[in-house]
Each structure stands twice: as C-alpha cells, then as structure tokens.
Structure 1
Amino acid sequence: MKKDKIAIIGTVGLPAKYGGFETLAEHLVTHLSDQYDFTVYCSQKKYKKEEQVKNYKGAKLKYIPLEANGVQSIPYDTISILHAVFTSDVLLILGVAGAWILPFVRLFSNKKIIISIDGIEWKRDKWSMLAKLYLWWAEKMAVRFSHIDISDNESIQDYTALRYETLSRVIEYGADHTLEVKPTLQDIEKYPFLKNDYAVKVCRIEPENNVHLVLEAFKMQQEINLVIVGNWNNSDYGKLLKETYMSTPNISLFDPIYNQREIDLIRGNATLYIHGHSAGGTNPSLVEAMYLALPVLAFKVSYNITTTENKAIYFSTSKELIQKLNTLSIAQKEVLKYEMKSIANRRYTWKVIAKQYELLIQEALVTKNKHSVHAEIKSLELSFLQEYQLAHLHNNFLFYENR
C-alpha cells in the first residue's frame, strides 16, 4: 500500500539534539513511520559530516546548508517548503519563519499545509522591532494560508480565535522520553549538589524566561540551592547573568546538556522545578518536569496556568518567588508532585501526541476549507432555521429530564 508523504519542516533536524520541535519530530517519526513516508529537513550546520545520514528511523533526511534559527530560518524554511512542494503530500511546518511563501504554495499547488505557530513568537523580547514586525505578519500568513494550524496551548488557541477567527487545534508535547535516574557515586562526584536538596531550572537564557528574576530571588535567600542549565554564552544577556551570579554560593550554572540521562539526572533528583517562561505556549521543559513528578513553581501567565491546570504554585516577582519558597511545606510539595505527574500521565505522553498528529494528517488530506470559530449554522438558509426552530427549539426539556 502506497504511503502518504509527509514533510516535517522547521526543525534543526534528526537525531534530535536541540529543542522541543526536534523532539516532536523524533517521536512522530518513531510512532508513525509505519503509516507515513516522512522527509525531515535538517540544518547541515548543526551536524558534522559523519553525523549526516540519509535515513533515520524510517524517515528520509534532507540537509539544507543554512542555520535553522535566527534570521537564516527564513531562507532555511523557504527552501525546505519549496523542495517539499515537489516531493510530499502534506507539509507539516513547525514555526512561522517561512510563512511568507504559503500564499504561493496554495495558489500553485494542491499540497496540504499544517502549521504550528510555536506560541506567540513575535512577542518575545529577544527579537528586534524589525524581526517582531516580520514574525507578526508571518503569523498572520501562517494561520490564513494553512489548511490546519496548531496551537500547543489552549491560551494560544484563544488568541488565534480572537485575532484570526479560525479554529486552531491544540496539540501539546510529550514528556515520557524522560528518565528516572538514580545518582551513582560517579554522578555525585561530578555534581556534588546531588547530595542535598535543590531547585532546578532548564531553559534558553532569554529575558522572557525571567532568568534574572529567578537568580535574584535565590541570591536574596541562600537557604535553598539552585541549579540552572542553559545557553549562557549565546547572548549579552546570558553572559552578563553568568558573570554576575557564577560566584553565588547556592547557585550552580551549567551550559546546555544534551545527553538525556545526564539532564534527567539533574532534573529528576531536584526537589523543586522553577519555570520562569512568560511567553510562548506549552513549554517542553515544563511538561518534562511534570512527568518527572517535580513540584512546580511557575511564572504567573495564562500559558503556564493552562499547562499545569492551575494546580502549580505561581509567582510574578522575585519577592513573591522568595515568599513562595519560604512558605512551601513538605506536605504541599507531595501534593504538587502528585498533581503534576497525574496531569503529565494523562496529557503529555508521546503515544497520545502522535495519535493526535495522525488524526490531524488524515483530516488535512481530505480537507478543503479551514474551520472558522463561527458556527456552521450561520451558513444555513433562514427558511430551514425557522422550520428547525418550530420543530425543536420550542422544546424546553433536556434529553435526560422527565417530561
């Protein structure tokens, strides 16, 4: 039986060794390669020549000689989209960088387009005003000219519904690739903080992730240790924070760790997870911490409240974070651990996520028009509605009520 051809566009590539979209691509290929013929576009800049393989877990890999992030993401995604138009049936595009070309894809081809807008990217502080304007416009193109658009969080779905009047589909991220790791003597020798209680934060070192706020709070109260893993050397913001706080006794700063066992060793043995993200949608590092049954203290924004179902503890300032840390009891931590793990087991497993993408691909293959937030009833003729009203709407009873 001939398989439908699916292109995954917008990631750094496979094998996954970078971030959330790459992990998503890895698990879609793992779970769905027996049903679909995948092509994944990869950045030649991020894989050494000996790492560049033609196939991975049943997917074809196509290398583009550009960076997948930053300003180069625009030509990177554009070239990937152009190639995929001639080779694939469905284009699964992760991010909006190449969305400028989608009107032409719709005009000159019958290819189906599914796009994940990746949170509200244009609001991120790291972008210049020019970049924000482009991303704001590209988001509009992405939603308007895709057959289906994906939000990774209900709060993002609300945003697209209000701004574009379209019905975005909510699909989050899986987290069950994380590992429960018991520290060995060698691990403790390498990371001495494992011997004591500590809080952990894993993120990109960017202003909207409120790394400065978290560091300030832990410097002001030094009773609790903090471990942060992130890309400190990628920006002036990160370099300044590293220089300012690297000598603080209760704070340990580490560069990015891509080894799954090692990062889960550090995360899984913490007693608290601090999530400072204030932009975006459902964040992979947050759902992974939840799956590892870590009590979560999260920055108070709708995305984080939605992801944790309003069952985490929330803060907005350094002083508020200190107050929450100082008043959090052992009993509260146990309740938080249970709540976070229960939510993750129910919502954030790759089997669930892959099934949702499978259904979305099937829908995209047969869909013609994008769904609006407005009810289909608005398109029905008035005479039919009047007849329906007379026959049914005058009935005041619900189906389970006695008459």
Structure 2
Amino acid sequence: MVGKRVTPRVAIVGTVGLPAAYSGFETLAEHLVRYNEREGSPLALTVYCSARHFAERPPVYHGAAMRYVNLDANNASSLIYDAVSMAAALREGVDTILLLGVSGAWAVPFVRLLTRARVVTNIDGIEWKREKWRGAAKLILHASEWIAARFSHAVIADNGAIVEHVRQSYGRDSVLIAYGGDHALAPAPAPYPGLPEHYALALCRIEPENNVSMILEAFATDPALPLVFIGNWDRSAFGRELKQRYAASPHIRIVDPVYDLATLHTIRAGSSLYVHGHSAGGTNPSLVEMMHFGRPILAFDCVFNRQSTEDAALFFNDAGSLQHLVAATVAIGGAEQGQRMAAIARARYTWSQIGAAYVRLLTDRG
C-alpha cells in the first residue's frame, strides 16, 4: 500500500509580512509564496506578519496562510516578535521554520531542545559589522549570528563571501541562495516626468556604509552625467544633512523613496548607468534588480559586489575613481558591459531559480 503523501508545513518568520512593501526579506517571502502557488509546490506555507502594519488582514494570500502577531517587527522589538512568531508556528505543528534574519535566533536552541521542528535560517549579510550598529546592538547581532550558525539545521547565505564567512567563522557549510530580480521588469512603466535625457542612477538606503557621501561628491562637480539619487533622505540626520548640502547642485537630483515598481521601471530603464555604493552585507536586492535592465554597473569595490557581479562590474573605491569611471563609460557607451550584467542576472537571479532552490531545501528532511 502506498503511504499517504505528507505535505511539509513551513512557517516563514522574520518579516513585517505580506503583501511586501520594500524590504528584501519581504520581497523574498512574497515571491516564495507566489512561486509555491504557481508551481503547485509540495509546501503548506504560513507567513507570520506584524498586525500593526496591516489595516486589512486577509487569512490567505496567494495560497499561504497568514498569521498576525500584535508586535512591532522592527528594531529591538524584532527579538520578541520573531520568537513569538516561532512559538505560535510550533503550536500549529509546523515541520520547518524558515527564519529570515538573525533577530530571533536566540530562541532557536530552545526550538531544538523542545521540539522536532527543523529551523532553516537565512543569516542575511554580516549584519553586526554594519557601521550603523554600535555597542550593545552590535554585540547582540554578533551573538545572534553565532547562535543561528551553531543551532540552525541549515544556514542560507545569499552571497559567496557570506558562505566563506560562515565556513571560516563557524566551521560549517551553508547553502548559497541569492535573490531574484526579474520582478523589477514585470510591471509596465509608469509615467515619471522631469527626468534628464541621460543620467546616472543610484538607489539605496541613505546610510554611511552605502558610500552615499562618496557618490554625491563624485557627481557634485562637472560630471559626465547628471545623477538621479533615490533614497530615504529624511529618515536620519545623516540623510537630511546630505540632502540639504546637495539639493541645490545642478548635477544632482535628490529624490525621496520610490516604492512603486512601475515607476521604478521607468526610472531604471531610462538611466544610462547605475552606481552601487553598498560596502556591507551580501547580495543586495537593488543590485540584482538593476542588473536585469542591462545597464553598466559601477560598484564599490568590495568582495560582496565582486561576488554578485562575477567581477564583471566596473569598480571604484573613492570619488575620484568613480568620476573617472563615469566619464569612461559615457565615452564608450557601456553597452557590452550592460549586456554582461543582464546575462548574469538571467543566469543567477530569477525568482523561478530562487523559488526552486528554497523548495528543495525546505522539503529536505535529511
């Protein structure tokens, strides 16, 4: 007699919830849910969401059960939010918890001790090394990463450099799964008037580790192209100061955050090249999204960006070298380098590939 097929029950924990707003982990959860529904994958998914972020709380979203926790999902509250979400998932009898980020990792040893559930943790970038974290926050994040690497049944790294970090720091192997970026091409472009005819584009959270000051300095004086720079400028004193300093520059257009994908499609597709200043973390979602547009990528020279672009981007390490690269790229057009970026993106960063990799890992009980 053939045994009854068992559907693996998987809880996704560690995001604000769905529908996704803009964070990389929420976008990942969104596309895992959609992939699971579209492909008829053998997973029963439940997504844990912060009730405080959603006025409407549907019980099901693209075939996944939705559960709402009345806690804030961000900042220090995330330590409790993630743990409460995991406890709720265990009460429902899930087989596997997919923990996105390490905030709730302190609870993973208790999950191992008290249950038979499997924990798969995506440790994100090397979060504790980010410049914005100091003191107790840095120590907690470092400890959380250690716990996640030590006690999770499987660890996901989104970048080859993170794989190496986990191996060297914790003596264990991790599974390399990056992010998809092809969703950025999906919506029809929406009108966005007032863009220059030709321009460089930068898009990021306005934080020192993203080399925002360096990029602005490179474009402030007689650049080969004007710069359109999108970010959350008003979120911090650092961003507000830069916005005030460069808002009047004739070569720089400071743009507040844009989350609508159709509008972003217009802005990305109209650019001549993309400047990526991230220096920390792993594979950055905004980078792999932009690679699909086939524009030349000028990236800050760090191991994460070299891994993500297979060393095929153009790399800078200060304002002067960035200004030189912009001028050189404008002079030669950069079409060949842009095509190389798009080819890498199609080969490595599509949601069909990423979804399949997650399903394989989440159905593996070995």
Of 61, 75, 90, 1:56 maps to 61
Task: Name which of 190, 193, 197 aligns with 1:191.
Answer: 193
Which blocks of at least 5 consecutive residues in structure 1 are unaligned? 368-403
Q: Does 1:6 align with 2:10?
A: yes
Q: For 1:341, what is the secondary structure of its paired residue?
A: helix
- The alpha-carbon deviation at position 56 of structure 1 amounts to 0.5
CA contact (8 A) 1:212 1:241 kept: yes
Matched, 1:291 2:258: no
Give the structure 1 partner of residue 313 of structure 2.
312
Aligned twin of 2:132: 126
| Cα-Cα RMSD | 1.5
Q: Equivalents in 2 of 1:333, 1:45: separation in Å?
A: 46
Pick the structure with greater CA Rg.
1
Which one-letter code corresponds to 1:97 in the other structure?
S
Same amino acid, percent of matched pairs: 43
Q: Which residue of 1 aligns with 2:83?
A: 78
Does the aligned pair in 2 maintain the 1:181–1:268 contact within 8 Å? Answer: no
**Cα shift readout 1:53-103 (whole Å, capped 9, x = no counterpart):** 211000111122222221111111111111112221110000000111111
Partner of 1:240: 241
Instruction: Name the structure 1 match of 2:148.
Output: 142
For residues 187 and 317 of structure 2, what CA distance do their matches in structure 1 show?
A: 32
After TM superposition, give the deviation of residue 191 of structure 1 in Å: 2.7
Give the corresponding residue for 2:47: 40
The answer to whether the Cα contact below 8 Å between 1:176 and 1:291 also exists between their aligned partners in 2 is yes
- 1:169 corresponds to which of 150, 171, 175: 175
Q: Distance in 2 between matches of 1:216 and 1:65?
A: 43
Residue 264 (structure 1) shift: 1.4
Q: Secondary structure of the equivalent of 2:46?
A: strand
The answer to whether the Cα contact below 8 Å between 2:154 and 2:174 also exists between their aligned partners in 1 is: yes
Query: Cα offset for 1:31?
Result: 1.0
Tell me how far apart the structure 1 counterparts of residues 222 and 101 of structure 2 sit (CA, whole Å): 39
The letter of the residue matching 2:175 is R
Greater mean alpha carbon deviation, residues 148-157 or residues 201-210: 201-210
Moved more, 15-24 or 281-290: 15-24
Distance in 2 of aligned mates of 1:313 and 1:223: 16
Structure 2 contact 166–174 (Cα < 8 Å) conserved:
yes
Q: Moved runs in structure 1, 4+ residues, more than 3 A? A: 180-184, 329-332
Structure 1 letter corresponding to 2:163: Q
Say whether the 8 Å CA contact 2:233–2:256 is kept in structure 1. Answer: yes
The answer to whether structure 1 residue 25 and structure 2 residue 26 are counterparts is no
Match of 2:250 in 1: 249
TM-score by length of 1: 0.86
1:45 deviates by: 2.6
**What amino acid is aligned across from residue 74 of structure 1 in structure 2?**
L
| Contact 1:77–1:97 (CA under 8 A) maintained in structure 2 | yes
Shift of 1:124: 0.7
Structure 2 CA distance, aligned partners of 1:181 and 1:57?
18
* Separation of aligned partners in 2, 1:334 and 1:253: 26
Structure 1 partner of 2:336:
335
Supply the AA of the counterpart residue of 2:34. Answer: T
- Residues 64, 76 of structure 1: 8 Å contact kept: yes
What are the superposed Cα offsets for residues 354-381 of structure 1, whole Å, 9 maximum, x if unpaired?
1111111122xx22xxxxxxxxxxxxxx
Question: Aligned partners of 2:333 and 2:167: how far apart in 1?
Answer: 36
Q: Which of 120-129 and 223-232 deviates more?
A: 223-232
1:108 Cα deviation after fit: 0.4
Asked whether the equivalents of residues 114 and 147 of structure 1 are also in contact (C-alpha less than 8 Å), the reply is: yes
3-state DSSP of counterpart to 1:178: helix
CA contact (8 A) 1:114 1:146 kept: yes
Counterpart-to-counterpart distance in 1, 2:269 and 2:319: 24
CA contact (8 A) 1:12 1:22 kept: yes
Q: Does 1:114 align with 2:120?
A: yes
Provide the residue aligned with 1:357 in structure 2: 358
Partners of 2:210 and 2:64 in 1: CA distance: 34
Is residue 96 of structure 1 aligned with residue 97 of structure 2?
A: no
Q: What residue in structure 2 maps to residue 381 of structure 1?
A: none
SS of aligned partner of 1:278: coil
In structure 2, what is the Cα distance between the partners aligned to 1:114 and 1:45?
A: 26
TM-score by length of 2: 0.94
- For 1:183 and 1:263, the matched residues in 2 are separated by 8
1:137-183 per-residue CA deviation (whole Å, 9 max, x = no partner) reads: 00000011100000000000001100101001100000111127786
- Corresponding residue for residue 373 of structure 1: none
Task: Give the partner amino acid of 1:208.
Answer: E
Q: Is the 8 A contact 1:181 1:265 kept in 2?
A: no
CA gap of 1:97–1:160, structure 2 versus 1, over 3 A, is: same
2:183 match: secondary structure:
coil
